[in-house]
Amino acid sequence: MRISQSNLKNGLGVAALSMAVSLTSGNASAGVTDADIVNDQANTSDIVHYGIGPQGQRFSPLNKLNTDNVQNLQPVWAFSLGGEKQRGQESQPLVRDGVMYVTGSYSRIWAIDVNTGEEIWEYEARLPDGIMPCCDVVNRGAALYDDLVIFGTLDAKLVALDAATGKPVWKKTLGDYKAGYSYTAAPLIAKGMVITGVSGGEFGIVGKVEARDAKTGELVWSRPTVEGHMGYLNGKENGITGGKANVTWPGDMWKHGGAATWLGGTYDPDVDLLFFGTGNPAPWNSWLRPGDNLYSASRVAIDPDTGKIAWHFQTTPHDGWDFDGVNEFISFDYQENGKTVKAGATADRNGFFYVLNRENGDFIRGFPFVNNITWAKGLDDEGRPLYVDDNRPGNPAGEKKGAQVFAIPSFLGGKNWMPMAYSQDTGLFYVPSNEWGMDIWNEPVSYKSGAAYLGAGFTIKPIFDDHIGSLKAVDPKSGKIVWEYKNPAPLWGGVLTTAGNLVFTGTPEGYLMGFDARTGEVVYKFNTGSGIVGSPITWEQNGEQFVSVVSGWGGAVPLWGGEVAKTVKNFNQGGMVWTFKLPARNVATR
């Protein structure tokens, strides 16, 4: 049975729609609880949260599919996202009680019967003219809570839909899209609240993290991420973001300071903290804003009950290369000297991999995970970069253009938004990285609401002849690159790892690829017809293990990639959800 928004217009009732969902999925969907979300990684029959759990490890304990039988993985259905809006499909699907929820470009979302691949319902946001997404019209996923599906839109709205019908339940505004605010991340759910950031750092907006009651959408607290702005709890002023205005920002620059929280965050119930990354300070031209420019290019740990910043760690103080700091912070434990270290790891745009104490933010270690970094010689004992002064773009004061430098990595980063995965079996992180550099220079700029606020120009260039993309297995305890897979085009999709000794990711060339998690050997390859920039998932149903990934080339690389964009200009756009399974007869006992 196929149900769409047109059925609602034609008068098909909610009860009938709910019955139809029950018939197609095999049972009625139960409401998603906080316990379901916290236990998401352990529950192999559903995927109810982005990152396969709020910690974002993207590790599945399933091992029916493994290196012995992965060659038997076969497609069972493909669902088209359709129309003329097939570009930049960066979503991670969710699965609950036989129904898949997947978002698409231009702020669309579908419910799909996982048994048949048939559409149950579709919702398409009515976007106004004048939206200003900097880096393609992407959406990275939804959130499930109670009987709601919650996702964000390019005009900076947060929308909650009835999971059975796709009918809107509530809608809230996250920011003024006319000033440059937008939203592309998957919302985070913690303690009954839906937690969101904002996009728009290239337009001089002010980054923030906000918590709302997930059932009603009512605001609980708001925490700006630019030092000097006021935070609120239950509608009342709750102190500024941890510092006074003009301390790490000159003059009034903090008023339009950027630090957008555009990737979303993770939550660790073990230490009861939210972890969000913050983007570049605005403008890119760093000569206009001397100082560390808190809390830009940082990881911030936030108390979920109050919005208070518990600790922060700044990866690129006084960022002058658009290195951001938004990349996911993933909780993990390891043993050292007979003790358990409660750690967290992040692979930064700036090319360094950081391991921090997730309880207090203390720096444990850091090391480069890409080659030939030019902007810094390394990190000091506190994790602060040792700058190469000559590799900061020059001051354009009184001129049209400052001195140009060639910086590695490029502003698209040693790793960009695409999430890495952590294996509890191997103890390794699997990092989708890119090896590239950029010519970059500064230009004069002044703030104007709704206009680009960069003050810089750039051209991205590859630094190796044979590859740009590099999937790396990284040991967070030693900094060793255990294995590497080199890909001709940039990698722009997320990673999944499993207890079956498998690592999955996609390539712009269109391949869903499987690797031996310990050796890096390619053990599976399937071409989906368009570049993969989504994040794969796996779950089990009726005794069989499934894998799904969204295919559809797009994102920032073809828009901002400079000379690199030439290498991908002939790649086809698309929009398909591909679902594979390992038939029960092919399960090999490990």
Residues 6+ apart with CB under 8 A from 366: 352, 353, 354, 355, 379, 383
Peptide bond into 409 cis (omega under 30): yes
Helix (H), strand (E) counts: the chain: 4, 40
Residue with tokens 């396969």: 52
Burial class, 534, CB count within 10 angstroms (exposed 0-12 / middle 13-18 / buried 19+): buried
Of 104, 317, 327, 321, nearest to 227 (Cα)? Answer: 317
Structure tokens given for 59:
């590790």
Neighbouring-strand partners of residue 471 = 432, 485
CB neighbours of 448 closer than 8 A, spacing ≥ 6? none
- Residue 305 a catalytic site member: no
What is the DSSP secondary-structure string of 396-411? -TTSSS---EEESS-T
Structural Rg of the chain based on CA atoms: 22
Question: How far apart are alpha carbons 545 and 275 in whole angstroms?
Answer: 31
Using CB atoms within 10 Å of the CB of residue 128, give its burial: 0 to 12 exposed, 13 to 18 middle, 19+ buried.
exposed
Question: CA angle, corner 23, sides to 17 and 25, nearest 5?
Answer: 100
3-state secondary structure 173-195: ECCCHHHCCECCCCCEEECCEEE
The C-alpha atoms of residue 424 and residue 265 are separated, in whole angstroms, by 21
Whether 532 and 508 have beta carbons less than 8 Å apart is answered as: yes
The C-alpha angle 499, 501, 505, rounded to 5 degrees, equals 100
Active-site entry in 97, 292, 322, 516: 322
Q: How far is CA 105 from CA 164, 268, 357, in A?
A: 22, 29, 36
- DSSP calls for 217-267: --EEEEEESSTTPEEEETTEEEEESSS-TTSSS-TTGGGG-B---TT-EEE
Structure tokens at 435: 């090896």
Determine how many CB atoms are found less than 10 A away from the CB of residue 499: 19
169: enclosing H helix or E strand? strand 168-173
Nearest 5°: the CA angle 110, 115, 118 is: 40
User: b/e map of 308-342 (b: 16 or more CB within 10 Å)?
Assistant: bbbbbbbbbbbbbbbbbbbbbbbbbeeeeeeeebb
Q: Are strands 456-462 and 436-442 parallel, antiparallel or unpaired?
A: antiparallel
Task: Classify residue 543 by its DSSP letter.
Answer: T
Q: Chain centroid to CA 312: how far?
A: 19
Contacts of residue 288, defined as CB under 8 A and 6 or more positions apart, other chains included, come to 250, 253, 445, 455
Catalytic residues: 322
